[in-house]
Structure 1
Amino acid sequence: MLEVLGVDSESETVYAALLSSPPAVPDDLARTTGLSPTRVRVALRRLQSSGLVNRRPGRPVSYVAIDPEVALDGLLLTRQEQLRRARLRAGEFTEQFRRLAATRDPAALVEVVTGADAVRRRSSQAIRGARHEVCAFDKPPYHSGGELDPNEPELEFLARGGTVRALYDADGISKPGRLNVLRMWAAAGEQARVLHDVPTKMALVDDRLAILPLLPGSGPDPSPSFVVLHRSAVLDALSALFEALWAAALPLQLGSVHGTDRNGLSSDDQLLVNLLAAGLTDEAIARQVNISYRTLQRRLRALMDRAHAHTRFQLGIHATANGWVKGGGVWEQGCNSSRE
């Protein structure tokens, strides 16, 4: 835990042992921590140089822990100052890079990355380097490795307080097993919306770069090619496109729900209504919630009776007007169509 302050795990273990004991000699600390006496002595020297312990005079040599409120605050202030200087230096490098970029060939603003492994590495690197927000278009087809699938990098980014907005194509949500993955990301904090026809795959990282397929459609080629676009008018246009489609899309509510909501809908019915609003076909919904097609039809009929609706369109109007879903939905576009 204290490694971020330059204190390795063994030194932290020794420091914790000292905090819970009176002044101690290295051999006693070795028995307490399970470390060898040699490693304990090395840890004590590191702790002493970091200002976390004091060596007491006299024989045998013993050590005492310094109040962590004082010692750790000192280390934190030192590290904060180091980070401040590093940020200033990074800013200088960034400014230097931008000055040079302004004089470069415009083609230098575009990287072409070819091969599934290379695309995956570049995408992970970009997301791990995000500072504030990642925005993504997600649509089929999916390559075997899922090049633009943020996966662990996205979860790490969310865990450190970043914002992720993902706009999903309705066809992509209907893929087998997809729902469990989407719910995992929703639980981690991802904001998701759905659109009936997302134009392309894409990831926007802050206002610094975008990653998207080089060829329209991006079929399941074993050696896909993607482009990385840096700051430019094209990047600004892609950002504006994302915001426009995000505003028009329907919130995808797949987080964990329990019991009944304020409308009296059970958790199962809440999920069912949201999958309907997302535009999934009946067959796809039945697969995702692991029920038979006949059971699904019976539950839909019950929802329509409850809403006094004679058609799916009327059910959609009732659901929107009464807060069963947020936004307008795509009920008329996909509920009865066969897109499998």
Structure 2
Amino acid sequence: MTNAKLGEALRLLGVGEAACRVYLALLDAAPAPLGAVGRAAGLGGAELAAAYGELVDAGLASAAAKDGEVVAPVPPAAGLEILARHRAAELEESRIAVGGAFESFRRHRLAAYNDHLVEVVTGDAIGPRMRQAWASAREQIRQFDSPPYVPIAGATEDALATLARGVTQRVVYSQASLEHPAKLSTVIEPCIEAGEQARVLPSVPVKLLIIDEAYALVSLSIQEADVVNTVLVVQPCGLLSALVALFEQSWRTALPFHGRTARPAGLPPADRRLLRLLAGGASDEVIARELGVSRRTLFRRLQVLMARLGAANRFQMALQAQRSGWL
């Protein structure tokens, strides 16, 4: 091994530069008087004494004669083991110190960052923030829709404009959405006709709007109290991932509401609406109200449709309508 490599190895073990020079001189000249070793290493006086003392403490040198003037290197096994342990202890202390400093940094930075993970929007600010969300969508919108509703002027137009831009829109409606006065005819059906993918569940777990993978708006609405005055804006984090997973799971279990876009020949639009409402779980009262007919007329239409489809009950009628492309 060259002197340069040996010196680097000693320095890696924690031996100082001056002590390395003295040790190399010892290997070349010892046993020899300490002064001669110092001259070979280019050291003298207190500097030489300190470097030699470091080697003695490390177990790498000792006196070769009783008078202590002649010195020599000693077998390094024990000394190197001590140095290695000291070095390992120092490295561990450094690792703990650096790791602790980073953890402190992370905690402070995360605490500051968390202030922006969830934003609370209340009152009159909800409408503009919702419209901004629709306008910012680039790829897809995922939504849970359920009453109570915040009156937002132009909301339907925003949804239609988003669809027109080619943004995929998937909405899971609650049954209460279909039964909400005028919601079906003025909001749901126009969006479906424009390309919205709609499904229905008896209820949805939360009012939710997910914009691309960027953020989500969660309404803290309470239907029983008709409270719709607070919305949470959730930025990318574990909570947003959980909301996306919740939507996708609900989407898989929800029933298709709009079905195929092809219009079967000879099926009046009113009957198609009737079948949609029926498949969505709307009650007879709601269906009759949405169609603007009496319940007696509704029953008569149902009987005609059941006969056309060869169904013995409403369930069979809905199933046959789906198979025939009427839903």
TM-score by length of 1: 0.58
Which residue of 201, 211, 220 maps to 1:205? Answer: 211
The 3 A distance-change label for structure 1 pair 218 and 122 is farther
Alpha-carbon contact 1:110-1:229 (below 8 Å) kept: yes
Per-residue deviation at 1:125?
1.3
Q: Which runs of 5+ in 2 are unaligned?
A: 1-107
The 3-state SS of whatever aligns with 1:198 is coil
Q: Give the aligned partner of residue 192 of structure 2.
A: 186
Q: Give the aligned partner of residue 297 of structure 2.
A: 295
Which residue of 239, 242, 246 maps to 1:241? Answer: 246
The 3 A distance-change label for structure 1 pair 313 and 155 is closer
Question: What code does the residue aligned with 1:306 have?
Answer: R
**Mapped pair 1:121 → 2:128:** yes
The 3 A distance-change label for structure 1 pair 265 and 157 is closer
The 3-state SS of whatever aligns with 1:184 is helix
Alpha-carbon contact 2:148-2:221 (below 8 Å) kept: no
Q: Considering only aligned residues, what root-mean-square deviation do their CA atoms show, in Å?
A: 2.8
Tell which structure's C-alpha radius of gyration is larger.
Answer: 2
Residue by residue, what CA displacement relative to the aligned partner does 1:268-297 show, whole Å, maximum 9, x if unpaired? 322211210010111101111111111000
Per-residue deviation at 1:136?
1.0
Distance 2:290 2:248 in 1: 29
* 1:153-232 correspondence runs (5 A): 153-181=158-186, 182-214=188-220, 216-217=222-223, 219-221=225-227, 224-232=229-237
The 3-state SS of whatever aligns with 2:293 is coil
Residue by residue, what CA displacement relative to the aligned partner does 1:42-82 show, whole Å, maximum 9, x if unpaired? xxxxxxxxxxxxxxxxxxxxxxxxxxxxxxxxxxxxxxxxx
The 3-state SS of whatever aligns with 1:108 is coil
The 3-state SS of whatever aligns with 1:242 is helix
Distance 1:101 1:218 in 2: 40
Alpha-carbon contact 1:165-1:192 (below 8 Å) kept: yes
The 3 A distance-change label for structure 1 pair 208 and 316 is same
Which residue of 127, 135, 138 maps to 1:131? Answer: 138
Question: What code does the residue aligned with 1:285 have?
Answer: I
Residue by residue, what CA displacement relative to the aligned partner does 1:83-138 show, whole Å, maximum 9, x if unpaired? xxxxxxxxxxxxxxxxx9867342420001110x2011111112211111111111
Q: Give the aligned partner of residue 104 of structure 1.
A: 112
The 3 A distance-change label for structure 1 pair 293 and 101 is farther
Structure with the bigger percentage of helix? 2
The 3-state SS of whatever aligns with 1:104 is helix
Question: What code does the residue aligned with 1:130 have?
Answer: A
Distance 1:178 1:189 in 2: 17
Distance 1:140 1:238 in 2: 19
TM-score by length of 2: 0.60
Question: What code does the residue aligned with 1:212 have?
Answer: V
Question: What code does the residue aligned with 2:120 have?
Answer: V
Range with greater deviation from structure 2 (283-292 or 153-162): 153-162
Range with greater deviation from structure 2 (163-172 or 309-318): 309-318
Distance 1:218 1:209 in 2: 27
**Mapped pair 1:251 → 2:256:** yes
Alpha-carbon contact 2:260-2:326 (below 8 Å) kept: no
The 3 A distance-change label for structure 1 pair 266 and 219 is same
Alpha-carbon contact 1:218-1:224 (below 8 Å) kept: no
Residue by residue, what CA displacement relative to the aligned partner does 1:146-175 show, whole Å, maximum 9, x if unpaired? 49x842322222222222111111111122
Distance 2:146 2:129 in 1: 19
Percentage identity across paired residues of the two chains: 39
Distance 2:256 2:120 in 1: 33
Alpha-carbon contact 1:167-1:194 (below 8 Å) kept: yes
Alpha-carbon contact 2:175-2:281 (below 8 Å) kept: yes
Distance 1:134 1:280 in 2: 25
